[in-house]
């Protein structure tokens, strides 16, 4: 019996912890570990003689993959909020286009979406795809898919879904400027204005929109009494009592969501009998570039048309 036990013990040690040259007995550290437990090389042996696999203990907190919601406090600034969450002010502005596209100031009580890493938070809109979002935000498509655990991206991108785009970069954002003196008191959030001199088709005496943008061009053709990104124009016009609809008219404003972040507006120059229409626009080909396009029904992601008072009859 003693001989058998010794043989088994020797076989176990030589296979798991010892070399054939190592002695077996109470004076051997390897043999002693069978009874008391201990470390032999990279192998941890328990008191019962069982081999325990070494475990690497994490030394850092796992990165969150979910956007945070932060309510702006009385003493907060955009810079202080960005520093708190270790992201840049631009990344917060890109993640909150409704509140901060045209402003670099935060107001107490505002609720902001904050990316968990350097990047951008986006809410999926109808028609968005993984490829289009990745292209629009200059980020790798697979990075977006992996970070958001999109197992089936063709079906996972339902409108309203919130995604985090790590490393994403948006367009250059303007600094907030005070409104022109002839606008209502208390107005804020403008991105700058320029008094337009010389002949003007629409008679506009000022332009509150950033030069080079689509909104700037249309506002140089028609006096626009509101501010905001292009995709908000349709609702702004309707709320001010302007007529809106889905049929193009000469002299009307076409509003689309061709830019997924800001939308797009263009001036309708002509409407043809086949239902197509010609528009002139800025910043479709490039910033500050004016071009013309012939558009057919269904050819653009149309929000609608705005009919200024002189074209609504």
Q: What is the CATH number of the domain that holds 294?
A: 3.90.1720.10
Question: Are 76 and 14 found together in one domain?
Answer: no
Q: What domain range is 41 assigned to?
A: 2-52
Supply the pLDDT for residue 271: 94
Query: In the predicted model, what is the mean pLDDT of residues 70-89?
Result: 93
What's the rounded mean pLDDT across residues 81-96? 92
Q: In what order do the strands lie in the sheet with 51-52?
A: 38-40, 43-45, 51-52
Residue 62: inside a domain: no
Whether residue 84 sits in one domain with residue 23: no
Residue 190: the pLDDT is: 30
Query: What is the pLDDT at residue 189?
Result: 28
Please tell me the least confidently modeled range out of 15-24, 85-94, 115-124: 15-24
The reply to whether 45 and 98 lie within a common domain is no
| Same domain membership, residue 237 and residue 285 | yes
Side-chain-side CA neighbours of residue 24 (13 Å): 16
Residue 187 lies in a domain: no
Are 8 and 38 in the same domain?
yes
Residue where a domain terminates, one of 166, 195, 226: 166
What is the structure's pLDDT at 133? 82
- Is residue 245 within 8 Å of residue 305, measured between CB atoms? yes
Q: Could you give the number of structural domains in the chain?
A: 3
174 found inside a domain: no
Residue 59 lies in a domain: no
Q: Is residue 61 situated within a structural domain?
A: no
For the domain that residue 77 is a member of, what is the CATH number? 3.10.350.10
| Pairs from 246-253 (Cβ < 8 Å, separation ≥ 24) | 246/302, 246/304, 246/305, 247/305, 248/277, 248/305, 249/305, 249/307, 249/311, 250/311, 251/308, 251/310, 251/311, 252/305, 252/306, 252/307, 252/308, 252/311, 253/218, 253/222, 253/305, 253/306, 253/308
pLDDT digits (tens, 9 = 90+) for 217-273: 999 999 898 888 898 898 888 888 899 999 999 999 999 988 878 889 999 999 999
Same domain, 41 and 79: no
Q: Do 44 and 73 share a structural domain?
A: no
Same domain, 307 and 223: yes
Cα–Cα dist 173/9, whole Å: 73
pLDDT class of 208 with cuts at 50, 70, 90: confident
Q: How far is CA 219 from CA 167, 201, 224, in A?
A: 34, 10, 6
The answer to the question of residue 294 being in a domain is yes
Q: What is the per-residue pLDDT for 286?
A: 80
């Amino acid at each position: 019996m003693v001989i058998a036990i010794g043989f088994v013990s020797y076989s176990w040690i030589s296979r798991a912890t010892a070399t054939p040259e190592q002695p077996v007995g109470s004076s051997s550290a390897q043999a002693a570990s069978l009874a008391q437990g201990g470390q032999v090389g990279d192998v941890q042996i328990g008191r019962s003689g069982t081999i325990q696999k070494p475990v690497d203990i994490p030394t850092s907190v796992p990165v969150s993959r979910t956007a945070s919601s932060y309510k702006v406090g009385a003493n907060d600034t955009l810079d202080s909020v960005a520093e708190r969450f270790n992201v840049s002010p631009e990344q917060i502005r890109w993640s909150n286009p409704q509140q901060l596209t045209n402003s670099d100031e935060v107001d107490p009580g505002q609720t902001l979406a904050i990316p968990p890493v350097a990047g951008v938070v986006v809410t999926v809109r109808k028609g968005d795809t993984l490829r289009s979002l990745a292209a629009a935000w200059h980020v790798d498509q697979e990075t977006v898919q992996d970070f958001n655990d999109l197992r089936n991206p063709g079906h996972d991108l339902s409108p309203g879904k919130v995604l985090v785009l790590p490393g994403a970069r948006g367009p250059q954002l303007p600094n907030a400027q005070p409104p022109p003196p002839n606008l209502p008191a208390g107005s804020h959030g403008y991105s700058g204005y320029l008094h337009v001199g010389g002949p003007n088709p629409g008679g506009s005496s000022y332009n509150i929109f950033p030069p080079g943008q689509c909104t700037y061009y249309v506002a140089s053709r028609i006096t626009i009494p509101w501010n905001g990104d292009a995709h908000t124009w349709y609702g702004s016009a309707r709320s001010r009592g302007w007529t809106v609809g889905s049929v193009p008219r000469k002299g009307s404003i076409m509003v689309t969501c061709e830019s997924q972040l800001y939308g797009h507006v263009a001036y309708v120059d002509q409407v043809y009998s086949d239902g197509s229409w010609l528009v002139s626009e800025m910043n479709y080909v490039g910033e500050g570039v004016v071009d013309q396009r012939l558009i057919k029904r269904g050819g653009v992601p149309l929000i609608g048309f705005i009919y200024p008072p002189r074209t609504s009859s």
